[in-house]
Amino acid sequence: MRMKIAEDARIFYRSPDPKRIFGACPNLCVLDSGRIIVTMCVFGPGIVELDVEKCIKGKLHAIEQIYISDDKGETWRHVADAPMMHARVFKAGKSVYVLGHEWDMIVMRSDDDGETWSKSVKLTEGQIWHHEAPCNVHYQNGYVYLVMERVLAERCKGMGTSIFAPVLMRGKCEDDLTRLENWTFASEICCLETVDKQKCNYVGIPFYQSLETGPNVLSVRPKRKFFDLGWSETNVVRLNDPNHAWYDSNGKTFHLFSSAYTGRSNIAAVLKVVENEDGSMTTMTENAPSGEPIVYLPFPGGSMKFYMLWDEVSGLYWLSNMQASDSMSRPETLDPVRMALPCNETHRVVLHFSKNCVDWCFAGVIDIGENEKHSRYSPSMAVCGEDLLILTRAADEEANCAHDSNLITMHWVRNFRSLVY
């Protein structure tokens, strides 16, 4: 019997057309009133038939949907749609925002706790913001901090996540965050410009050979490719322990934890951002006490999208992540329904806690799919009083494939702080 720390999964969303309409990127925010706001993206070839006016135009059709609940998730109301994807919902001051992209970054605001929403507003013009599935939000000294990812195609010749720059954004909570001038953006670095593959000795990174001419095809049926070293889907934290080797007593340093595209499981990427005297923010690599640079850290589920949360009451960081169980399998031996590379196992989502974001203690299983096709991945979570509410992408037998999830599932971990040992 599998012992789960979460209640049996409830289905939050089920696709009306599992082969052509998919659910993705669930995210949530809990207001002081107890109201829960959830955003999620629906995408796929069938979306344009639902509402052509509300979806992103182009090759990939998508709509961001917004739901609210006032009874702790028992019932939900669908209140708005927007032409964006990879969005997150967060509160700032008296307003609630949904921030995503339609390649350019786009934002909406609600001044009545999510009942009604402004028209979507572009924050950028002519840029590509991509792939930052919703991760966490950090608050400090009246400011909100979060990370979005920009594709540095104009300055880097590379593939996939190798040219993604995780950009820390800071906005004053009382300002109108639908206005570009009220945001400060950190400097941009990407993995291609930062990591020298020749120096990744003795740790097996990259795990597979990367090719300058294109992706390295590791198996043909199904096709499994390895592109190049990269990072994506970034969380931001402040390290609060004065004894931590990376603690900043001035509170001006933030650490970015990203899923690391290396071909290995349980390795994450870490960067830091320092706030300067003039208010600007500089992104850079972190260092060991020896002075050696650190980009990669052992990290449970670090090869897949994870979600980090600081809990003031327990004084701990909490992590919902994917659990790898067979990442050393040869690519050609995997079940055909398995998604991508051996390190990208997507049907086991679990919970950890830590006091330093490096040493993680296993708290328990949130959910495990019945087989490789029954995915449970890309989690988001929020504290609701004494409980944790976790949303994940999910798939069942009706799904097109493990990646094209036809479900969003909802999981409650009751009295989650009692899991600490």
Question: pLDDT tens digit string along 225-235?
Answer: 998 899 999 99
- Output the pLDDT for position 58: 54
Prediction pTM value: 0.94
311 contacts 417 by C-beta, under 8 angstroms = yes
In terms of C-beta density within 10 A (0-12 exposed, 13-18 middle, 19 or more buried), how is residue 390 classed?
Answer: buried
CA torsion 89-92-95-101 (nearest 10°) is: -40
36 contacts 72 by C-beta, under 8 angstroms = yes
Residue ranges of the chain whose pLDDT lies below 70:
1-2, 50-60
- Output the pLDDT for position 1: 39
Question: pLDDT tens digit string along 35-45?
Answer: 999 999 998 88
Phi, psi of 102 (to 5 degrees): -125, 55
Question: pLDDT tens digit string along 327-378?
Answer: 999 999 999 988 889 999 999 999 999 999 999 999 999 999 999 999 999 9
- In our burial notation (b when 16+ CB lie closer than 10 A, e otherwise), range 329-343 reads eebeebeebbbbbbb
In angstroms, the Cα distances linking 270 to 17, 48, 237, 267, 416 are 39, 38, 11, 10, 27
Which 8-state DSSP code applies to residue 419? G
Question: pLDDT tens digit string along 292-310?
Answer: 899 999 999 999 999 999 9
The domains found in the chain, sorted by start residue, are 10-419 (2.120.10.10)
